[in-house]
Chain A
Amino acid sequence: MNQAAELLQEKFPEEVVEVVEFRGETQITVKPGRIKDICKALRDDNRTSFRYLSMIAGMDYLPQSPRFGVVYNLYSHKNKNRVTLKALLADDAAPAIDSVAPVWSTANWHEREAYDMMGIRFRGHPDLRRILMPNDWVGHPQRKDYPLRGK
């Protein structure tokens, strides 16, 4: 089994929901509650050392519930491998998750984009403003129920 999945099952057995292996790619679904600790462990542990956050994506799974999710793509320069971390957010009306900006500073802008496009709030983010849309924009345009031409 993948070392990241092993590590998480050893350190956070209650948090891991599902581990999927597909064509050599590992995808770990976790609960959103302790995402910051999980990320810190993946970054700092010598077996995984995911020092680099490739990207964060906000997801909208409408009409499923839980509707919103956040996907973290991590890369380890040391081990030359990747892992996908996935968290589904419980609250469909006001999705929120802890910010991982203190773990990887690059998360700052990625989370701002997810907030701008999807309306996912990142608790503890140093500067959660819109990054692409104008500041006075109403709504979050990448949500699936957002009309194509805008409101």
Chain B
Amino acid sequence: MGIEEHLGYNILTTSLEKLVDWGRKSSLWPATFGLACCAIEMICTAANRWDIARFGMEAFRASPRQADVIIIAGTVCKKMMPAIERIYEQMTEPKWVIAMGACACSGGIFDSYAVVQGIDQYLPVDVYVPGCPPRPEGLLYGILKLHEKILQDPFLTKKYQERLALRQEAV
């Protein structure tokens, strides 16, 4: 963010980081994007019985520029892949990816020439939700896991600098 250069790594940056992480996890806006039968379960999750609004996610955005999480809900065909990549690239940082269902995780039953064998070949997936299709409870559980992940996501503190250094060493 750049703010740490002025404040230094101290109690202010740590608290600010916590606050921002809490804000990010409390109002995740998913992109309106469904591919196959999993999308129906995703729609169910958004509707009144499961009510994704309880987690601040009811605003499914039709424009990727306003979304910060994309739920890959369904079978990814190779012909669809350029479109998904473009949507992902149009999303603003920070952004997260949930692979929903067996197909998005690994290709599922479609061991075929036309289907991408797991979206993680192209996008950095944060949470995998198995199932064919997963029930709305399953998706909600995955979303809560993503919340946990976001809450522990350092981007201002020393921890972040250490992680960056580790990553660069690995590369």
Contacts and interface: CB of A to CB of B under 8 A. Distances in A.
Interface of A: 132-134, 141, 146-151
B78 A134 contact: yes
Contacts of B113: 141, 146-151
A2 B97 CA distance: 60
Contacts of A151: 113
Contacts of A149: 111-113
**Chain B: interface secondary structure?**
loop
B79 interface: yes
B79 A148 contact: no
Categorize the interface residue count of chain B.
under 10
B142 to A, nearest CB: 28
B114 interface: yes
Interface string B110-121: 011110000000
B123 to A, nearest CB: 20
A147 B112 CA distance: 9
Contacts of B112: 148-150
Interface-central residue, B78, B111, B112, B113, by most chain A CB under 10 Å: B113
Contacts of B114: 133, 141, 150
Nearest to B113: A150
A148 B78 contact: no
Nearest to A134: B79
Nearest to A150: B113
Interface string B75-100: 00011000000000000000000000
A149 B78 CA distance: 12
Interface in B93-145: 111-114
Contacts of A146: 113
Contacts of A147: 113
Most chain B beta-carbon neighbours within 10 Å: one of A147, A148, A149: A149
B156 to A, nearest CB: 44
11 contacts: A132-B79, A133-B79, A133-B114, A134-B79, A141-B113, A141-B114, A146-B113, A148-B113, A149-B112, A149-B113, A150-B113
A149 B79 CA distance: 15
A146 B79 CA distance: 19
The 8 closest A-B pairs by CB, nearest first: A150-B113, A141-B113, A134-B79, A149-B113, A148-B112, A148-B111, A149-B111, A148-B113
A150 B78 CA distance: 12
Nearest to A132: B79
A147 B113 CA distance: 8
A110 B78 CA distance: 22
Nearest to A149: B113
Interface in B18-65: none
Contacts of A148: 111-113
Contacts of B79: 132-134
Nearest to B82: A134
Contacts of B111: 148-149
